[in-house]
Structure 1
Amino acid sequence: MTITRVAGNGGLPMINVSNDHADAVISVYAGQVLSFTPKGAADVLFVSDKAYYAEGKAIKGGVPICWPWFGADPEGKGRPAHGFMRNRMWSDWETRENADGSTTVILGVESSPETLAIWPHAFRLAMEVTVGKTLQLALVTRNTGDAAFTITQAMHTYFAVGDIAQTTVTGLEGTQYLDKAADGNGATKQQGGAISIASEVDRVYLGVPAELAIVDGALNRTIRITSSGNKTAVVWNPWAKIAAGMADLQDDDYTRFVCVETTNAADDVVSIPAGAEFRLVAEYGV
């Protein structure tokens, strides 16, 4: 096992992990996994070649963390969408080698006068990343204050695919979803078969199972997603028009990724009592 700490793109601190099972790149900025490559295989994650690497900007790709809210500011105060964790520096808390040959890296953030001015709750947030035969992620929120608070959150994961036209997402057949790309009026729809993507897709699936999969015909692989702590999942692809309007995406990048996000979104709101913690967990394997 080797762990190296380097200055990455934009001078941002990165942690490179290499062991017998896989290689990974983790950005300390944003607490964000940028790459997970099982030995002898292609990278599971997608990162845009035009991604920003600068403090105050979100990195387009990998596993951005949306916290302590997912989507628009829930209180309408003009705070940024998806919270304030994906564009700030985290701390490098711990690394360890595990008995099975995997490597765990723990990054974290604790509340400060700056965060309390944005969101008035005391917290300790950790991102536990275990690089092994699979990529295991745990987003752990501890309430260090004296009153309960509520959160929504997501691991907004960009999965690399060979060709979106040859890609399907399975496991959500028959599930109800909110179609945010269509109308956003709150009406739910029901998923028929596997999800295929041929236009903009922005859906919050409700009451989701613990196991989903991305079947990639072009790369001839299946990415399996297992999660816990969530009742919802988001499937997103911006498609051509929106991708072309994003300065940190190539115009055709939408053909090379699909976001399948492990979330507490919509009505899946988590209440964390004072002194308690909550774990949102996802595992990705090929």
Structure 2
Amino acid sequence: MALELAPEDVTAVPVLFPFELRMEFEIGETLTITLRMKNCSEKEQTVTAALHTYFNVKAAETIAISGLDGVVYENRVVGAEASGCVQRGDIRIDQEIDRIYLDTAGAVEIRDPGFGRTIVVEKSGSNSTVVWNPWVRKSQAMPDFGDDEYHTMVCVETVNAATDRRTLTPGGSHALTQKVSVK
């Protein structure tokens, strides 16, 4: 299945440059999602992109996220140390987390003992990974997010962000792919 967006399809908001997007879905034992971006302008354009995946977990406080040990990240939580942080061991969720992990190409695993499963996120066309959970205060301030929904979700996102922005030549394209499976 595929969804497409062409330059002429975008009329309600200003667009910085003409582009085409194609989102492809392959559904089976592994879910594969690919976002294809094409620069339709006559100039080089630098883009960011993200596949925002909200994973349902039994209890965010009990999960462990592996595959990012030793990786440098940018901390996007207001008031926290912003850059130059290094992940040590598994990621545990016991407060708001909003991080961009840099130079990541390998698989990330979400071990969820409550549901007795491990979610595996593999990717290509991306060298950065976002891990996000709004926790208490931010979830209560978000109008489209239930006050307690942070307990049962985590985002592990395949992205092109921070130092992983992509520059597309005129007519150039880029594909961002994520494969999700459960073991």
- Does TM-score exceed 0.5, indicating one fold? yes
Cα distance between partner residues in 2 of 1:147 and 1:197: 42
Map 1:190-229 onto structure 2 (within 5 A).
190-229=86-125
* Structure 1 position 146, deviation (Å): 2.0
Structure 2 unmatched ranges of 5 or more: none
* 1:141 corresponds to 2:37: yes
Cα distance between partner residues in 2 of 1:247 and 1:122: 31
Indicate if the aligned counterparts of 1:167 and 1:217 stay in contact, CA closer than 8 A: yes
Cα distance between partner residues in 2 of 1:152 and 1:189: 22
Cα distance between partner residues in 1 of 2:13 and 2:137: 36
Map 1:1-286 onto structure 2 (within 5 A).
105-112=1-8, 114=10, 118-183=14-79, 186-286=82-182
Structure 1 unmatched ranges of 5 or more: 1-104
Indicate if the aligned counterparts of 1:177 and 1:206 stay in contact, CA closer than 8 A: yes
1:108–1:216 Cα change, 3 Å: same
Indicate if the aligned counterparts of 2:20 and 2:38 stay in contact, CA closer than 8 A: yes
Cα distance between partner residues in 2 of 1:156 and 1:252: 20
TM norm structure 1: 0.61
Aligned length: 182
| SS of equivalent to 1:222 | strand
Cα distance between partner residues in 2 of 1:216 and 1:117: 40
1:165–1:113 Cα change, 3 Å: closer
Alignment deviations for residues 202-227 of structure 1 (CA, whole Å, 9 cap, x no partner) = 11101113211110010010000000
1:275–1:174 Cα change, 3 Å: same
Cα distance between partner residues in 1 of 2:9 and 2:132: 34
1:120–1:248 Cα change, 3 Å: closer
> Percent identity at matched positions?
34
Q: Which has the higher contact order (CA 8 A, sep 6+)?
A: 2
Alignment deviations for residues 233-286 of structure 1 (CA, whole Å, 9 cap, x no partner) = 110000011111222222111000000111111121101111221000000000
Indicate if the aligned counterparts of 1:116 and 1:122 stay in contact, CA closer than 8 A: no
Q: Which amino acid aligns with 1:260?
A: V
Q: Which amino acid aligns with 2:24?
A: E
Alignment deviations for residues 71-120 of structure 1 (CA, whole Å, 9 cap, x no partner) = xxxxxxxxxxxxxxxxxxxxxxxxxxxxxxxxxx1001011385597233
* Structure 1 position 124, deviation (Å): 1.1
What is the root-mean-square deviation of aligned Cα atoms in Å? 1.7
Indicate if the aligned counterparts of 1:171 and 1:209 stay in contact, CA closer than 8 A: no
1:267–1:146 Cα change, 3 Å: same
Indicate if the aligned counterparts of 2:102 and 2:127 stay in contact, CA closer than 8 A: yes
